[in-house]
Amino acid sequence: MKIYNSLTRKKEEFVPLEEGKVKMYACGITVSGEAHVGHGFQAILYDIFRKFLEKQGYEVTYARNYTDVDDKIIAKSKETGIPADKYAQMMIGEIDGVMRELDVDEPTVWLKATENIGNIISFIEDLIQKGHAYPAPNGDVYFDVDSYPAYGQLSGRDKEDMLDGVRVENDESKKNPYDFALWKAAKEGEIFWESPWGKGRPGWHIECSAMNRAAFGEQIDIHGGGRDLIFPHHENEIAQTEALTGKRFAKYWTHNGLIKVNGQKMSKSLGNSLLLKDLLAKYSNEAIKFALLSTGYRGDVNITDDLFPNAEGHLVRFYTLIEKAEETFPQEKGLYPEIDKKFDEAMSDDFNTALALSDLYGYFKDVSRFLAENDPTARRMTNQIRATYSLLGLFKRDAKAYLAKYAPKDEAPDEVKAVAEERWKARLAKDWAKSDELRERLKQLGYAVKDSKEGYTLSKI
């Protein structure tokens, strides 16, 4: 299979470091707030990467982290009065819950910065010993960018560009303004750990390098994250790890596109941040996945007002055909392997979910035709669609239950409702002749009526 490597800027044949095994790491969420759709998108993608690699026969170890100490979490802690560690734990609980609702599986290994302080400190000590880092008089420790000439290989930025992307802080304690903090001295009242450089906490970039070394050793196969992490975060991860080991850190660097809302960047400051829990209150997790995966993972996803409603509409139509096929051919257990073959072809080409999903329209057109011809191939196709596309988290539900929850309720026009009301009154008056006549009228208008003890329901014929 082929994977696009951001480091070489090419699609490359995937060959893991060790035959049959894949070590994959994706940068997770900084738990300073609730999970938004961008977090969901990235979590869904790497969950799918893992599952598809497993389908290809690889034994995958997938590690994902929570950044549970950083400036934003400390700021939130001050704002809310909840201690930083408690606040982070609380947010992790909420985010885990919402990811379960989104139907994202747990990674093989969960990593947390606060549970790896020892690993982080020893990584920094090793960098200092090798001359790639230096403690500053203020208690911070910095990475010495000049000591690592290959810096900039992933982002293609030179040192001049780098200055724009680096927040300039404690300038006087750094050798160069583009040096970045590995360890930050604690300010009064902030959460801290003891270290050889005094009380402090890790910088953000170092945690991924240190936790990777602890979980996997010196090298991994796939490293991933959002495209916004290329610089400085991933550039710095490469510098830290490769300066220390002299080996290529990750063989394949993968980066997913970003989320836009009506063409605009999604951000808290613009007030257009879409929280996952709000989306899940309105749409099925399958519709959210269908919508997000309809764009290839490297492209930006533009969320317009009708993106999720349209996705739900497609799924309702697909589930309607699945329900019909399952009711018409209840005993048919056969499959339709061609669908699985095409799916694997699409996904083997840099996880092309957009192509895999667009194939569904043709398949369901065929299902509909086979149903009209009373051909059990319809059911074989829907069996295969369920089996194959569950890897993307789709078609995992009971069709009836799905439709009951997400299919739009047909609202009858006023004219029809008036006739139905009249009929109900005739029925209550036991005027059966009139009731039957009005039932016939409704039929001509395209509606069936069903009576029950509580009243009646109208449905489109």
Closest CA relative to residue 181, chosen from 217, 123, 140: 140
Stretch that binds Zn ion, among 31-39, 204-212, 413-421, 446-454 (CB under 5 A): 204-212
**Helix, strand or coil for residue 102?**
coil
Q: Which is nearer to Zn ion, 255 or 289 (CB)?
A: 255
Please give the radius of gyration of the chain, using alpha carbons only, rounded to the nearest integer.
28
Alpha carbon distance 208, 206 (integer Å): 6
Strand order in the sheet with 301-303: 264-265, 259-261, 301-303
Alpha carbon distance 123, 105 (integer Å): 30
Q: Which is nearer to Zn ion, 239 or 321 (CB)?
A: 239
Closest CA relative to residue 124, chosen from 142, 104, 98: 142
Q: Which is nearer to Zn ion, 67 or 284 (CB)?
A: 67
Alpha carbon distance 376, 10 (integer Å): 44
* Cβ contact 395:339 at 8 Å: no
Minimum distance of Zn ion from residue 138's CB (angstroms)? 25
Q: Which is nearer to Zn ion, 250 or 307 (CB)?
A: 250
61 phi, psi to nearest 5 deg: -110, 115
β 21-30/59-67 pair status: parallel
Query: Could you tell me the CA-to-CA distances from 25 to 31, 45, 67, 256, 304 in Å, in that order?
Result: 18, 12, 14, 14, 31
Stretch that binds Zn ion, among 2-10, 170-178, 193-201, 206-214 (CB under 5 A): 206-214
Cα torsion 151, 157, 161, 164: sign: negative
Minimum distance of Zn ion from residue 29's CB (angstroms)? 11
Stretch that binds Zn ion, among 201-209, 242-250, 384-392, 441-449 (CB under 5 A): 201-209
Minimum distance of Zn ion from residue 127's CB (angstroms)? 17
Stretch that binds Zn ion, among 19-27, 84-92, 346-354, 357-365 (CB under 5 A): 19-27
Q: Which is nearer to Zn ion, 51 or 223 (CB)?
A: 223
Minimum distance of Zn ion from residue 12's CB (angstroms)? 22
Stretch that binds Zn ion, among 27-35, 45-53, 209-217, 274-282 (CB under 5 A): 27-35
One-letter amino acid identity for 185?
A
Alpha carbon distance 351, 360 (integer Å): 16
Site track for Zn ion across 159-198, x = CB under 5 A: ----------------------------------------
Task: Fill in the DSSP letter of residue 32.
Answer: T
Minimum distance of Zn ion from residue 226's CB (angstroms)? 10
208 binds Zn ion (CB under 5 A): yes
291 binds Zn ion (CB under 5 A): no
Q: Which is nearer to Zn ion, 47 or 237 (CB)?
A: 237
Minimum distance of Zn ion from residue 204's CB (angstroms)? 8
Residues binding Zn ion: number (CB under 5 A): 2
- Restricted to residues 228-257, the positions that interact with Zn ion (CB under 5 A) are none
145 phi, psi to nearest 5 deg: -60, -35
Alpha carbon distance 24, 46 (integer Å): 9
Minimum distance of Zn ion from residue 233's CB (angstroms)? 6
Q: At what angle do helices 285-293 and 307-328 cross, to 10 degrees?
A: 110
Stretch that binds Zn ion, among 23-31, 127-135, 181-189, 317-325 (CB under 5 A): 23-31
Q: Which is nearer to Zn ion, 157 or 233 (CB)?
A: 233
Return the structure tokens found at 148. 């690592």
Stretch that binds Zn ion, among 24-32, 71-79, 189-197, 246-254 (CB under 5 A): 24-32
* Cβ contact 434:426 at 8 Å: yes
Stretch that binds Zn ion, among 26-34, 244-252, 275-283, 427-435 (CB under 5 A): 26-34
The full length of the chain comes to 461
Strand order in the sheet with 250-256: 109-112, 59-67, 21-30, 220-226, 250-256
Closest CA relative to residue 18, chosen from 216, 308, 213: 216
Minimum distance of Zn ion from residue 26's CB (angstroms)? 8
Minimum distance of Zn ion from residue 3's CB (angstroms)? 18
Minimum distance of Zn ion from residue 460's CB (angstroms)? 52
Q: Which is nearer to Zn ion, 48 or 208 (CB)?
A: 208
27 binds Zn ion (CB under 5 A): yes
Alpha carbon distance 292, 321 (integer Å): 23
Q: Which is nearer to Zn ion, 27 or 191 (CB)?
A: 27
Q: Which is nearer to Zn ion, 235 or 312 (CB)?
A: 235
Q: Which is nearer to Zn ion, 204 or 363 (CB)?
A: 204
113 binds Zn ion (CB under 5 A): no
Name, in order, each residue with C-beta under 8 angstroms of 52's C-beta and a sequence gap of 6 or more.
Answer: 347, 351, 391
Q: Which is nearer to Zn ion, 42 or 377 (CB)?
A: 42
Binding footprint of Zn ion on the chain (CB under 5 A): 27, 208
